[in-house]
């Protein structure tokens, strides 16, 4: 009986360790800021998921990439490949107008 309890304890500890280490998706670190006319202040995406498309509330401008990822700006919503506006490396900012953004590992 003691061996069975030890085996169960070891199995439970191993399962807990595996779930603590596993992460469902990779995420960048930092924030990506932008502005939308008619809204007071700005908007921000914090620790964005790699490859996920983030739509803005309306046409956005003034992006500032403070993440550790490459930010790809798109003309409209949905991050459609044929509508790329610009690429922003970490630390870059600019005047571009865009409707969605996707973050990629460089």
**CATH at 65:** 2.60.20
Q: Are 92 and 69 in contact (CB under 8 A)?
A: no
Q: What is the pTM of this model?
A: 0.74
Domain count, the chain: 1
CA 64 to chain centre: 14
Find the angle CA(21)-CA(27)-CA(33) to the nearest 5 degrees.
150
Q: Which residue range(s) make up the domain with 67?
A: 26-104
**Which residues of the chain are under the pLDDT cut of 50?**
3-24
Residue-wise pLDDT for 52-73, tens only, equals 999 998 999 999 999 999 999 9
Q: Is residue 6 part of a domain?
A: no
């Amino acid at each position: 009986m003691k061996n069975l309890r030890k085996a169960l304890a070891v199995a439970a500890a191993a399962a807990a360790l595996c779930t603590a280490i596993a992460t469902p998706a990779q995420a960048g670190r930092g924030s990506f800021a932008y502005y939308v006319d008619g809204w007071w202040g700005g908007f921000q995406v914090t620790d964005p998921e790699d490859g996920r498309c983030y739509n803005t509330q309306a046409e956005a401008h003034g992006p500032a990439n403070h993440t550790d990822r490459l930010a790809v700006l798109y003309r409209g919503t949905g991050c459609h490949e044929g509508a790329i506006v610009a690429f922003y490396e970490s630390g870059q900012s600019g005047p571009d107008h865009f409707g969605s953004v996707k973050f990629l590992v460089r």
